[in-house]
Amino acid sequence: MTEESRPLLAFGPPVVGSRPAQPSRDMPRLSRPTAGRQGERLTPEFRELAAAFDAERARLATDTPDEVDPALVVVFDLVGSIKDFCNAIDQIDGLEFLSELIGDRADPDDDFYMTERGRGRTDSTVPHSLYLVMTNARAIDELMRLFDLWQQDQSVTFRHGLGKFKTAFEQLSAIRRWGPEDRIRQTGLRDRWQETLDVVGQSVSFVTVEVELWYRHDAGQRTEAESRVERIVGDSGGRILDRSQIGDIGYHALLAELPIQQVQSVLSSGAGSIRLLTTDEVMFVSPFIPMSVAPPTLEPVTEVRLPHGERVDGLPRIALLDGLPLANHDALAGRLAIDDPDGLAEDYPVYSRNHGTAMASLIIHGDLSARGEPLDRPLYVRPIMRPHEFASGYEQVLPNRLFTDLLHRAVKRLVEGEGGSDPIAPSVRIVNLSIGAQARALVRRMSPVGRLLDWLAYSYNLLFVVSAGNHSYEITIPAEVADDATAARSAVTRAVYDAALLRGILPPGDAINALTVGATHDDGLGDVDLPGTVWDITDPGAPAHYSATGPGVDRSVKPDLHHIGGRALYTRPVLQPGSNVVSVALARTEATGPGLQVAAPGRAGATNTSVFTTGTSNATALVSREASHLFDILDAKASDSDDAPLPDAQYHPLLVRALLAHASDWGQWGARLRQELGLDNQQARRHLTALLGYGGLDTARLGTAATNRAVLVAGGHIARNERHTYEFPLPPSLRSRAEWHRFTITLAYMAPTIGRLTRYRNAKVYFATPDTNLAAGERIDAEHNSVRRGSLQQEIIDGTRAMVFGDAETFPIHIECMDDAQRLRAGKTVRYALVVSVETSAETSTTIHEEIGARLRQRARDRARGRAQS
């Protein structure tokens, strides 16, 4: 018996009510020192701060005849965190809240430790939050005065707005200056600079860095800070290449060249040895590594035969921000709308036009080895890469531009216009980013470019489809398994898992409002004869070993899903006498495959050549293609006039994101990896969620239901402390039948974000824990705590027990909205989209879609009669 396709169905309007009060949970509690003990611990640190101001004032006096009150950045290291503490900081004249960061968890001590009811003191580590504050000496004096008052009387009343400081004094672990080491910690700067010296030594004169400044509220202070940093860079013999201020995400940065002597000084004498890293205006200094892409080959030979296509008219829906494609390739001719405001095409030789050509080919045709119908709309292309200055055939993201600013300008040009001009492509709803920042993965704070994508998606209602990133370096395995492909496969899986921290998501794949895509070991080429020098040591259809792994920031689900990225082969290792380990590296397969077959620039002007490639870039392009097909489905009118219309177009970007996740699951991956990695503890699902996200995308289930599967969709806006309840009709054919069935619930929303805070989301929207008893099943796949940490939540309930319910009973889905980082203001709402499905095997029932559709139509008629009678 086969599944017959059926259309999506629409929920009716939800029942709107108040979010119920949550029962208080018995959480571990923080034990704090006494006020007297805090005075003993912290008074010396306050005095050190006062002395630092005196020293800074004396230093500045040598540069200026006028007395200057210096401003320094101070770190309040709090055990735990304090909601809305940032608002209290801004109440003291001379204090300006700058940012909050997650601090290192610390072992408990006699001052701060966690307790649990019934157990008392525990050995649990203690969380820390760092509040970064710009302050002057007068403000520090006021802070010390308040601290003295609190020590004398803990019940003292501070003036309105300062009450949070009493809590802060209780939890204050340390107070100190933001120092040189803080400015490079977790940026990878020292490691990158060491690599630079080791590899190129004295053959380079300059290194490039991104200098992120504190974003000051006052424009004049930002200008003054930028000028000072520019002077410091210039005095060191360097220069500024680019600069950017994006107020909507609190971003202020300079792209600077520094002389190699600065590198040598930091590595030999420490971060405090150069002025740039001791400057209070500077937040972070990161190595600037524009993503560089190697050509698959400079001599593509695989010929692709495509019928001559006529020019595609209409408005573009997908924007490809990438390299410049070969516009007259047979696969692309007449199908591209290239927008090149930077004039990059003037110096972009044909043999370098690889990555953009490949991505455009995949978006328009899919894998050329198994290509489908081409898109019927032109593809908007904005080149943001250029040929590499030294490496022939290579391409790189513009090396003299801040990547965050480059993307900001490119997207604003699409939807708002640039320099007073009209928007260049306001019809675009999907932005494909198969490139990113070739930087160290971050899990403690959102990258600037991740913050940008979150804001752009929220502000312009766009779907960003972003690659998770590739880690294609060699994998080290024990030498003892080198002669056994099966044992090597297991060892490689374990090695990749053990190195997960080094193989994290690359920016902007950390963005929570974007759909981040990993790659699977799959393509459409079919069987390939392999020479004895290579191995296929990845399970078919499993996550590719080159694909970046999660989790995202704050342990959110990243990547969101996986899709076809191309099968990657590895070189069979050569055993060295006496060695305990061997390394396996990616093999070259661009000429013969496997991999995804893509259009490529040819020799001597050939326009019909192709190559085979692998990567998360490929998977991302294919997901963008599928996303466009989903927009077509949502734009079409309901096939049955009695059915409720699908949600309005304003919800389509979110619905597409939800539908893509909804068609994804772990399949056999979870059980296989549990066994392979020996994950049998309670944390197994959390670890697997970081590796697998929501699973692999099944395109056969995208945007469609079946006779044995009903899929309902909805879109709405929800306010603070509201609950929206959707009633999913239960199909009678599943009643009292002990057969396999599955409920899948997916919610996507546009999270408003607060870039300065650790919590980051202004508000969070989620569906409450579904009723597993009514569904007669158990939750499977992604871990239930992780799925609520981003802006895409999915729960799957799988069961074989008999469901017991009445004739008109429904399965309720409660969507709720609550404050997270800050209070969602009155009158403000959050846009969301919901997808819910129930299914069983075709052998069990082929009437589910019909039954639920009939119930929905009857419900709509009842509502219409009720409105008419009223």
Residue 507, token pair as written in the block: 């920016």
Question: Contact 840/849 with Cβ under 8 angstroms?
Answer: no
Percentage, residues of the chain above pLDDT 90: 74
Q: Which of 713, 712, 708 is CA-nearest to residue 734? A: 708
Question: Contact 663/591 with Cβ under 8 angstroms?
Answer: no
Question: Contact 12/856 with Cβ under 8 angstroms?
Answer: yes
> Does pLDDT of 66 surpass 60?
no
Residue 387, token pair as written in the block: 């040929």
Helix ranges restricted to H, 153-241: 164-171, 180-184, 189-200, 219-235
Residue 116, token pair as written in the block: 């649990």
Residue 437 DSSP code: B
Give the whole-angstrom CA distance, residue 698 versus residue 122: 46
pTM above the 0.85 mark? yes
Question: Contact 345/383 with Cβ under 8 angstroms?
Answer: yes
What single letter denotes the amino acid at residue 62?
A: T
Residue-wise DSSP of 541-606: TSBPTTB-B---GGG---S-EEEE-----EEPPPPPTT-SEEEE-BPP-TTT-SSEEEE---GGG-
Residue 74 DSSP code: E
Residue-wise DSSP of 383-416: E-EEE-SSSTT-EEE-TTS-HHHHHHHHHHHHHT
Give the whole-angstrom CA distance, residue 771 versus residue 765: 18
Give the whole-angstrom CA distance, residue 464 versus residue 359: 15
* DSSP H or E run through 837: strand 829-840
What single letter denotes the amino acid at residue 723?
A: R
Rg (CA), the chain: 29
- Cα angle value 750/440/460 (rounded, 5°): 20
Give the whole-angstrom CA distance, residue 355 versus residue 371: 19
Determine the average pLDDT of the residues in 475-485.
Answer: 88
- Residue recorded with tokens 């306010």: 719
Question: Contact 382/339 with Cβ under 8 angstroms?
Answer: yes
Question: Contact 647/713 with Cβ under 8 angstroms?
Answer: yes
Question: Contact 558/790 with Cβ under 8 angstroms?
Answer: yes
When mean pLDDT is compared across 296-300, 502-506, 529-533, 703-707, the lowest value belongs to 296-300
Give the whole-angstrom CA distance, residue 245 versus residue 254: 9
pLDDT of residue 68: 61
Mean pLDDT score across all residues of the chain: 92
Q: Would you give the end-to-end CA distance of the chain in angstroms?
A: 47
What single letter denotes the amino acid at residue 815?
A: I
Residue 588, token pair as written in the block: 């070259």
> Does pLDDT of 295 surpass 90?
no
Question: Contact 281/214 with Cβ under 8 angstroms?
Answer: yes
pLDDT digits (tens, 9 = 90+) for 329-388: 999 999 999 999 999 999 999 999 999 999 999 999 999 998 789 999 999 999 999 999
> Does pLDDT of 867 surpass 80?
no
Question: Contact 684/674 with Cβ under 8 angstroms?
Answer: yes
pLDDT digits (tens, 9 = 90+) for 203-258: 778 999 999 999 999 999 999 999 999 999 999 999 999 999 999 999 999 999 99
Q: Which of 323, 408, 389, 395 is CA-nearest to residue 361? A: 323
Burial label for 593, CB within 10 Å (0-12, 13-18, 19+), is buried
Confidence of residue 870 (pLDDT cuts 50, 70, 90): low
Burial label for 199, CB within 10 Å (0-12, 13-18, 19+), is exposed
Residue-wise DSSP of 732-794: GGGBT--S-EEEEEEEEE---B-TTSSS-BSEEEEEPPP-HHHHTSEEESS-TTGGGSSSEEE
Give the whole-angstrom CA distance, residue 89 versus residue 544: 47
Give the whole-angstrom CA distance, residue 82 versus residue 86: 9
Q: How many separate helices (H) and strands (E) can be counted in the chain?
A: 18, 42
Give the whole-angstrom CA distance, residue 499 versus residue 556: 19
Determine the average pLDDT of the residues in 507-527.
Answer: 96
Confidence of residue 7 (pLDDT cuts 50, 70, 90): very high
Give the chain's length: 870
Question: Contact 733/710 with Cβ under 8 angstroms?
Answer: no
- Residue recorded with tokens 């342990």: 555
pLDDT of residue 840: 96
Give the whole-angstrom CA distance, residue 396 versus residue 330: 25
pLDDT digits (tens, 9 = 90+) for 628-654: 999 999 998 655 567 889 999 999 999
Give the whole-angstrom CA distance, residue 194 versus residue 191: 5
- Cα angle value 440/442/447 (rounded, 5°): 95
Question: Contact 360/328 with Cβ under 8 angstroms?
Answer: no
Residue 821 DSSP code: S
Instruction: Tell me how far the alpha carbon of residue 261 is from its chain's centroid.
Output: 36
Determine the average pLDDT of the residues in 64-80.
Answer: 81
Within the chain, what is the greatest distance between any pair of CA atoms?
90
Q: Which of 166, 128, 125, 170 is CA-nearest to residue 146? A: 166
pLDDT of residue 163: 92
- Sorted by sequence, the CB contacts under 8 Å of residue 236 that are 6+ apart come out as 258, 259, 262, 274, 275, 276
What single letter denotes the amino acid at residue 64?
A: T
Residue 805, token pair as written in the block: 């319910």
pLDDT digits (tens, 9 = 90+) for 38-54: 999 999 999 999 898 88
Give the whole-angstrom CA distance, residue 476 versus residue 740: 42
Question: Contact 258/236 with Cβ under 8 angstroms?
Answer: yes
Determine the average pLDDT of the residues in 178-184.
Answer: 94
Confidence of residue 1 (pLDDT cuts 50, 70, 90): very low
Neighbours of 224 (CB within 10 A): 13
Determine the average pLDDT of the residues in 74-100.
Answer: 92
Question: Contact 8/663 with Cβ under 8 angstroms?
Answer: no
Determine the average pLDDT of the residues in 691-695.
Answer: 96
Determine the average pLDDT of the residues in 71-88.
Answer: 91
Percentage, residues of the chain above pLDDT 70: 96
Confidence of residue 308 (pLDDT cuts 50, 70, 90): low
Confidence of residue 576 (pLDDT cuts 50, 70, 90): confident
> Does pLDDT of 460 surpass 90?
yes
pLDDT digits (tens, 9 = 90+) for 770-788: 999 999 999 999 999 999 9
pLDDT of residue 571: 92
pLDDT of residue 443: 54
